[in-house]
Amino acid sequence: MIAPVEHGGLRYEALHWAKERGLGQNGGFVAAIDIASGKELWVQRIYEIVYGDKSPQKYDRFITTLTLIDGDTALAVTDQTGAVYRLDLGTRAVTLISAAPDTTPPPNPRKPAKAEPAEKKGFFGRLLGD
Closer to another protein by Cβ: residue 3 or 93: 3
CA 20-23-26 angle, 5° bins: 65
11/19 Cα distance (integer angstroms): 21
* Minimum distance of another protein from residue 96's CB (angstroms): 20
- 94-98 and 63-69: which strand pairing? unpaired
- 29-34 and 84-88: which strand pairing? unpaired
Tell me: does residue 39 bind another protein (CB under 8 A).
no
Closer to another protein by Cβ: residue 50 or 115: 115
- From the list 30-38, 41-49, 52-60, 85-93, the region that binds another protein by CB under 8 A is 52-60
The values of phi and psi at residue 125, to 5°, are -60, -40
What mask of x and - would describe binding to another protein in positions 90 to 129, judged by CB under 8 A?
-------------xxx--x-xxxxxx-x-----x--xx-x
Residue of the chain from 1, 91, 95, 119 that contacts another protein (CB under 8 A): 1
Residues 10 and 21: beta-carbon distance below 8 Å: no
Tell me: does residue 34 bind another protein (CB under 8 A).
no
- How many other CB atoms are found less than 10 A from the CB of residue 100? 14
Closer to another protein by Cβ: residue 42 or 58: 58
